[in-house]
Amino acid sequence: MRITTNPKTILVVDDEKDIVDLIAYNLENEGFKVIRAYDGQTALTLVQAEKPHLVLLDLLLPGIKGLDVCRAIRKNQETQYLPIIMITAMSDTVDRVLGLEIGADDYITKPFNVRELIARVGAVLRREEPRFEKNTGDILSFGGIHINLDSYSITVDGRPIDLSYREFKMLAFFVRHPGRVYSRDQLLESVWGDENFVEPRTVDVHISRLRAAIEKDKDKPQYILTVRSIGYRFSDSLSRET
């Protein structure tokens, strides 16, 4: 076991005790502190009481389902940026996509390789540590979009917008680089960093959610434009504010 002076706390949520025990054993061997829940309501209670650094969340839970747990975490201002890795069955493609749309950071499928799970946990925690390159009082403005990098707040034409951390970081990246076309792989590298397990499909999900949040008509976007067969571009035809 690795000895850590300030171990990160991981909440493992699954109704199968054997799976929870397996995950907990391996996480504890890596130096993490593990708390356990076997249903959705207990998971939400522990999120508030224990303030974990990350949640491993099974989707098929008794009572409150995993997707609803994810929704509740994202709607709560205190936990909206809490990293969540979904645990899904191999056949749960629709649920995986829906989970990413709701705000999960990553997913792993059953049956899973324990080493891969540990790697995913480590990668998500590493990329969340900086939170963002904070620059006190720094504000980005472009075409009616105002991004406060210190308070993580966004307004579009004066209207407050709620975004997940990943959506926030992606929008800030686009605003900093208007007019340039980025492939999905380039966006993964710039926004997700050294995470090796995120799929290009994840970019499309986050783009869709961003458009729904900031565009007047998400089906006719003015800000985030699709460049066919290449990727995405943030419009440079809107006036930049200083």
Q: Which residue segment(s) compose the domain that 103 sits in?
A: 9-128
Query: What is the rounded average pLDDT for all residues in the chain?
Result: 84
Q: Establish if 1 belongs to a structural domain.
A: no
Q: Kindly state whether residues 38 and 122 are assigned to the same domain.
A: yes
Task: CATH number of the domain at 122, please.
Answer: 3.40.50.2300
Amino acid at 34: V
Whether residue 63 lies inside any domain: the answer is: yes
Which tens digits make up the pLDDT trace of 130-178?
443 444 347 888 888 989 887 778 999 889 988 888 888 899 989 888 8
The two three-digit tokens of residue 81, written as one number: 């940026």
Domain shared by 80 and 14, yes or no: yes
Examine residue 183 and state whether it is found in any structural domain, yes or no: yes
Residue 236 pLDDT = 80
Is residue 133, in this structure, part of any structural domain at all? no
pLDDT at 37 over 90: yes
Nearest CA among 176, 195, 28, 186 for reference residue 128? 195
Closest by CA to 58, choosing from 21, 24, 15, 95, is: 15
Rounded to whole angstroms, the Cα distance separating 64 from 68 reads 6
Judgement on whether residues 107 and 19 belong to the same structural domain of the protein: yes
Q: Does residue 163 sit within a domain?
A: yes
Q: Looking at the structure, do residues 153 and 122 belong to the same domain, yes or no?
A: no
Domain count along the chain: 2
Nearest to 97 by CA among 240, 14, 209, 222: 209
Q: Looking at the structure, tell me whether residues 52 and 144 fall in a common domain.
A: no
Res 195: pLDDT: 59
178 inside domain: yes
Global pTM value: 0.60
